[in-house]
Amino acid sequence: MSGNTQAVYLNTAGCGLIPESVLQPGIDLYKNFESVSSAASEHWRSVTYHEVKQTVAQFVGAGPANIALIPNCSWGINAVVQALQGDEKVLLYKKDFPSVYIPFVTNKFNIVWIDDEDGFIIDLEKILSIVKEENIQVVAISHVQWQTGFMIDLQALCSNCRALGVHTIIDATQSLGAVPLDVSVIRPDVLVASSYKWMNAGFGTGILYMDDAFLEKYPPVIAGAHSNAYAAYTGETAMGIGGYEPGGMNMFGLTILQKAISLKLERGLEAIGKHNAALTALLLDQLRALPVQLVGSADGKNRSSIVVIVQEDGLAEHLAAYNIVTTVRNGHIRASMHMDNVAGDVEAFVAGIGSWTKP
């Protein structure tokens, strides 16, 4: 077997690569903490914080007043769940990422579960039918599924739910940064995402978008950031979306997130999405001739740039020895292509499978 001399990285769905140019602004910020940390941190709070929020808002098609800067998706979903009344009837997908459904389970919400049809497809019509039949009040689901790469029609889901008076809470961790997402068009009530995957911005930061009406109905019931705005209790605690932000914000991580977003905006989200889709189509086409089992159909419908195949004896180990980086989990191999991947990376993955001898 002839392996690749350099790693072929097909694992953005696990953790995105961070370019040096993205890291550097954070490093520069923290260098100031060697000598003028108080001044540097106060400048970040009073100036950079607002610039980061503006950049994030522009990226998702929102206004800064609808954006909270959070540590990760789990924080955001838990904070939102705590703000709910607690007696809402919630529709959840049973194979979703656990941080989407566990907060509802542990807080003893009235839950209705759905499953996929064939190990891949989550039927939108079935969701809407259950919503009507069961008088669902909240639908919480990931835009892209972590175990299969299935991508739900988010605009159709949110618009139909909104027409029925049903709230939508969307985990976009596996899509934000990989495909265009404009909340002014999609109109979810809540959209939450971590930054360490397709945003290529490392761990410890995320974003929370919240619609005006939802924010008014469900104001934050936690507190942390911006506490220095209060010298003493005056009876006024309303902080808007900022109440969803924690104290001790990750200045380093949010600084590199801002830079990561600027690079994506320069390249263009439409261009990134088309690039990723083209690589996915190339891989799906070439997998047809290989002795592997693809999860889902190869026609591209409801496909993200995550492609999953069944792990068979020795295949994962063979690909690793071939210096191809993927995720191996729950009996499957997950490959994911992003903006810095090229057709040669797909061809290397295909060649690695082709050189594997099926037992």
Q: Is 84 helix (H, G, I), strand (E, B) or coil?
A: coil
Question: pLDDT-based confidence at 238, cuts 50/70/90?
Answer: low
CA dist list (Å): 296 to 18, 125, 147, 314: 30, 18, 11, 22
Domain boundary among 217, 236, 267: 267
Q: Within this chain, do residues 166 and 42 fall inside the same structural domain, yes or no?
A: yes
Residue 1 pLDDT grade (very low, low, confident, very high; cuts 50, 70, 90): very low
Which pLDDT belongs to residue 359?
60
- Residue 134 vs residues 85, 89, 90, 110, 253: alpha-carbon distances, Å: 18, 8, 10, 11, 42
Q: Is the pLDDT of residue 144 over 80?
A: yes
Q: Domain containing 12: what range?
A: 8-18+268-354
Strands (E) across 144-194 are located at: 167-171, 190-194
Q: What is the CATH number of the domain that holds 42?
A: 3.40.640.10
Does 67 share its domain with 189? yes
Q: In the beta sheet, which residues pair with residue 328?
A: 333
pLDDT in tens, 258-275: 999 999 999 999 999 999
Are residues 146 and 250 both part of a single domain? yes
Please report whether residue 359 resides in a domain: no
pLDDT in tens, 179-236: 999 999 999 999 999 999 999 999 999 999 999 999 999 999 988 776 666 556 666 6
Number of domains in the chain: 2
My answer on whether 109 and 236 are in the same domain is: yes
How far apart, in whole angstroms, are the C-alpha atoms of residue 212 and residue 215?
5
One domain, residues 128 and 202? yes
pLDDT value at residue 358 = 64
Residues in the chain: 359
Give CA angle at 264 (263, 268), nearest 5°: 125
What is the number of other CB atoms lying within 10 angstroms of the CB of residue 248? 8
251 and 159, same structural domain?
Answer: yes
Residues 114, 31, single domain; the answer is: yes
Give 353's pLDDT tier (boundaries 50, 70, 90).
Answer: very high
| Pair (312, 175) in one structural domain | no
Q: What is the C-alpha separation between 17 and 10, in angstroms, rounded?
A: 10
Q: What is the mean pLDDT of residues 158-172?
A: 98
> Does residue 69 lie within any of the structural domains?
yes
27 and 123 both lie in a single domain: yes
Q: Which alpha helices (H) appear in 13-117, and where do they start and end?
A: 20-31, 37-43, 49-60, 73-83, 98-106
Q: What pLDDT score was predicted for residue 236?
A: 64
